[in-house]
Structure 1
Amino acid sequence: MTKIAIIADDLTGANDTGVQFCQHGFRTMVIIDADNVGQVGRDKDVWAINADTRHLTAEEAYRRVYDLALKLKQASIRRIYKKIDSTLRGHPGAELEAVMDAWQAELALVVPAFPSNRRFVQDGYLIIEENPEAKAKIKPVVDITGSAQCHVPRVLRQEMGRRVGQVNLATVRRGASELAAALTAAKEENEVLVLDAVTEDDLQIIARAVGYLPGEVVLAGAAGMAAHLTLAWNLKTILGPYPAREGNVLLIAGSRNPVTAVQVREVADFSGCWPLEVDTGAILRGQEDVEIERAVNAAVNREAIQDLLIIAVDSLFRQSHLDSGQGTGNQSTAIHPNGAEQPATGNSGKDFDSKAIATALGAIASHLLATIKVRGLVITGGDTAVHVCRALGARGINLATEILPGIPLGYLEGGQARGLPIVTKAGGFGPPDAFIKVFKYLIREANL
């Protein structure tokens, strides 16, 4: 079979996109660090690669993705999917340009819509439709009314030298063959085309239209589009899961998105386990060793009395410091790419702060897994996920299924926790009871 590669800018993005292929039968490996490409997962059909570029400059992100894309091409990867964040964080334009340059592609199609997670694109605008149930529980929310709207072609043009155009919803809904003809015609004026989509049917039409297009075409988008790219491909059987484990479910919340705050509160109420808060201020003051020891000891003392352990940054529940990326009105809100989830920082919001906290959370997870029995690991926040995996010595994640849209389950490859079930979730994804459903799934209390 032709090998497939996904290039994502963070670990949760690699996971939620890779699992779309896994569910169609492709053996999928998430590669936690791009330096390990070619060293792990050689027997897999799909590599979902964390390029870890979210916090780099545009120039740095371009160079890293260019080098990676060139390496993949030289390794005879024939299909590539450039995963972009569903709220356009990071450097989607620079990274797409890098892939096109490395592959000498004539055309790129960009489809950021993720309907099952309430991300839509209409008239070129990326829109997040508020979840009324979740919104009611987030107090206060950040009002971004009047802030710059996110027009996807405009965002891409800021970092690309190529001509960027847009294909509206009416054209998409003419059907696959007519859409392919429209894309071919639009190619005369544009090298990058952003496509509208608001339903799964729209994504299916786009996926079928891709098959009609000649030449080298790079596909880019969120996990929503990835779910439809295997429709016309031969499927293979997914490998069986690792044996079930005993112990606690360990939930590590490094994101401070208000959606995550609601989800953590819901599972805490359900399970009777209130989060053990990590003092981010102590970490930023250089007292990380003391704080790690305190958190580990406190968690070990709780081990025998419950099935769930929650480790959360203390800033998760400081609502005045949270950025939701959602509006406050009753209508859907077009968002600015910088108006969404921010790193889990205690004070300044600098990359250094985010990495220091994520590193400490990784150390806490490593100590706990060496001390207590853990049946499953749940992590929210891309930085947190990659630092926890690194602390455990894991080199990859063998994806198995998707518990909820955008919330995949896999098994760690390598390191001290080899075979451990792991669930990752980006901060702003999922319904209020997402962690309850994940918790039930992992302890086999419900057949979801």
Structure 2
Amino acid sequence: MEHIAIIADDLTGANDTGVQFCKHGFRTMVIIDAANVGQVGRDKDVWAINADTRHMTVPEAYRRVYEIALKLKEAAVSRVYKKIDSTLRGHPGAELEAVMDAWQAGLALVVPAFPANRRVVVDGHLLISESTAMAATSANCIPDCSGQVLCHIPTVLQKEMNRQVGQINLAMVRRGGEELANALEAARANSQVLVLDATSEEDLMNIARAISHVRQDVIVAGAAGLAAHLTMAWNLKPLTFRSFRREGTVLVVAGSRNPVTAAQVQRLAEFSACLPVQVDTAAILAGNEEAEIKRVLQEAADRENKDLLIIAVANLFQLAGTDAGAGKNSKSIAAALGTITSRLLGSRKIKSLVVTGGDTAVHVCRALAARGINLSADLLPGIPMGYLEGGPADGLPIVTKAGGFGPPEAFIEVFRYLTQE
């Protein structure tokens, strides 16, 4: 059995990339804590690992990813996919270099494009056709005069890498197949890291076909978009999903302050006539965490809607344009959301979880003592569903979403799916 590993810098990234392999037939587990690599999920084909490095320093992120990559090499993992954020948050260059160092790779191919979520790459520039408020979520991206968010990917990577970074333009990508593969091999004479343009799913398919022709000492890196095509040449049987029909409440926990998430939560609240229970983050940061948790739990208990409960950070609706996970204090807020979730599961019947925000998802899973997430389906691009493994909530369906992913009706569609008979 061939083993594949994904190294992501946060939990939602591990989920939305891992599910791309899952839907092609691979048994996929998300490993919530990198310390458990090699200890859980041994019967799975794919490990999607949350390195939890998004808010580390460059040296810290490099060291952790290097150690994970060495563990994977020792575990006889045959292929590694270095997942990078589709808006280049975190330290994509340092983490890619860590994987290349650990695996002694001669070349890395980088494809951050995710056309399904309106992230494309042209002439090495990442273009994001969304609200310019998204720019604030990544220090590497800035809005241009047309309202698009952009950055030059080779420049961003080169700042954190010793290896030379080059690029392959769209015209060459569209030649595809062996011709593109030959161009990649020729380019390695001058560059050890190559950024490839892509604006469509067909471009990603061309890149995937070319990858099948290149030598084995190549590390592939990118967003969930490319991951969806890496198994296209493999003859895999569809995965049979478990049924998740059960009585109870759909619990939505929104810990991201991304404006995209804010709009999605507001649409869901209007659709369901379920007002969010708002968590006062200022009270938590002031040291009044336990009192605030008790207040939130009491307010949740008083709500009449039995099908849906929304717990959201109060400043979500200020549209500040930054993630709640952006500051050093985010861990304590995420931990409080995890505690609230755990206690709600102990006091009422929850049929499924929907969690947005990488830090929030990690702390919710830790609070529930889950070892991993067995992925099962991609409900929408970048919004996967799976089942918790381990702990008192073993088998509970969980849907995770990065802050900026999905259309305004995303949570409505997820809620309808989870409540279908």
TM-score, length-scaled by structure 1: 0.89
Alpha-carbon separation, structure 2, partners of 1:131 and 1:79: 36
In the alignment, structure 1 residue 203 sits paired with structure 2 residue 179: no
Identify the residue that residue 417 of structure 1 maps to in structure 2.
393
Superposed counterparts of 1:13-412, under 5 Å: 13-130=13-130, 144-145=143-144, 149-302=150-303, 304-319=304-319, 322-323=320-321, 342-344=322-324, 350-351=327-328, 353-412=329-388
| One-letter identity of the residue aligned with 2:357 | G
Residues 244 and 397 of structure 2 are in contact (CA less than 8 Å); yes or no, is this contact kept in structure 1?
no
Residues 377 and 422 of structure 1 are in contact (CA less than 8 Å); yes or no, is this contact kept in structure 2?
yes
Alpha-carbon separation, structure 2, partners of 1:6 and 1:305: 39
Q: CA deviation at 1:172?
A: 0.3
TM-score, length-scaled by structure 2: 0.95
Alpha-carbon separation, structure 2, partners of 1:414 and 1:290: 29
- Note the alpha carbon deviations across 1:26-71, whole angstroms, 9 max, x for none: 0000000011111111110000000000010010000000000011
Alpha-carbon separation, structure 1, partners of 2:111 and 2:16: 15
Alpha-carbon separation, structure 2, partners of 1:42 and 1:215: 23
Alpha-carbon separation, structure 1, partners of 2:217 and 2:70: 14
Identify the residue that residue 330 of structure 1 maps to in structure 2.
none
- Note the alpha carbon deviations across 1:67-104, whole angstroms, 9 max, x for none: 00011001000000000000000000000000000000
| One-letter identity of the residue aligned with 1:343 | D
SS of the equivalent of 1:29 reads strand
Residues 33 and 51 of structure 1 are in contact (CA less than 8 Å); yes or no, is this contact kept in structure 2?
yes
Alpha-carbon separation, structure 1, partners of 2:243 and 2:72: 29
Alpha-carbon separation, structure 2, partners of 1:213 and 1:92: 23
| One-letter identity of the residue aligned with 2:330 | S
| One-letter identity of the residue aligned with 2:324 | A
Alpha-carbon separation, structure 2, partners of 1:37 and 1:100: 19
Q: How many residues are treated as equivalent by the alignment?
A: 413
Residues 27 and 239 of structure 1 are in contact (CA less than 8 Å); yes or no, is this contact kept in structure 2?
no
Worse-matched range after superposition: 428-437 or 148-157: 148-157
| One-letter identity of the residue aligned with 2:263 | V
Identify the residue that residue 137 of structure 2 maps to in structure 1.
none
| One-letter identity of the residue aligned with 1:73 | K
SS of the equivalent of 1:431 reads coil
Q: CA deviation at 1:243?
A: 4.3
| One-letter identity of the residue aligned with 2:236 | L
Alpha-carbon separation, structure 1, partners of 2:236 and 2:217: 23
Alpha-carbon separation, structure 2, partners of 1:370 and 1:7: 32
Q: CA deviation at 1:130?
A: 2.5
SS of the equivalent of 1:40 reads coil
| One-letter identity of the residue aligned with 1:369 | L
Alpha-carbon separation, structure 1, partners of 2:56 and 2:289: 25
| One-letter identity of the residue aligned with 2:164 | R
Alpha-carbon separation, structure 2, partners of 1:59 and 1:148: 27
Alpha-carbon separation, structure 2, partners of 1:128 and 1:43: 38
Residues 248 and 306 of structure 2 are in contact (CA less than 8 Å); yes or no, is this contact kept in structure 1?
no
| One-letter identity of the residue aligned with 1:419 | G
- Note the alpha carbon deviations across 1:123-161, whole angstroms, 9 max, x for none: 0001111279x99xxxxxxx9446994100000000000
| One-letter identity of the residue aligned with 2:267 | E
Q: 1:413/1:148 Cα in 2 relative to 1: closer, same or farther (>3 Å)?
A: closer
SS of the equivalent of 1:240 reads coil
Q: CA deviation at 1:195?
A: 0.1
- Note the alpha carbon deviations across 1:354-413, whole angstroms, 9 max, x for none: 111000000000000010001110000001000100001011000000100000000000
Q: Which runs of 5+ in 2 are unaligned?
A: 135-141
| One-letter identity of the residue aligned with 1:19 | V
RMSD: 1.9
Residues 106 and 215 of structure 1 are in contact (CA less than 8 Å); yes or no, is this contact kept in structure 2?
no
Q: CA deviation at 1:240?
A: 3.3
Residues 8 and 51 of structure 2 are in contact (CA less than 8 Å); yes or no, is this contact kept in structure 1?
yes
SS of the equivalent of 2:324 reads coil
> What percent of counterpart residues are identical?
67
SS of the equivalent of 2:151 reads coil
| One-letter identity of the residue aligned with 1:427 | G
Moved over 6 A (4+): none
Alpha-carbon separation, structure 1, partners of 2:131 and 2:201: 18
Q: CA deviation at 1:176?
A: 1.2
Residues 276 and 310 of structure 1 are in contact (CA less than 8 Å); yes or no, is this contact kept in structure 2?
yes
Residues 242 and 411 of structure 1 are in contact (CA less than 8 Å); yes or no, is this contact kept in structure 2?
no
Alpha-carbon separation, structure 2, partners of 1:398 and 1:369: 20
Residues 274 and 305 of structure 2 are in contact (CA less than 8 Å); yes or no, is this contact kept in structure 1?
no
Worse-matched range after superposition: 35-44 or 216-225: 35-44
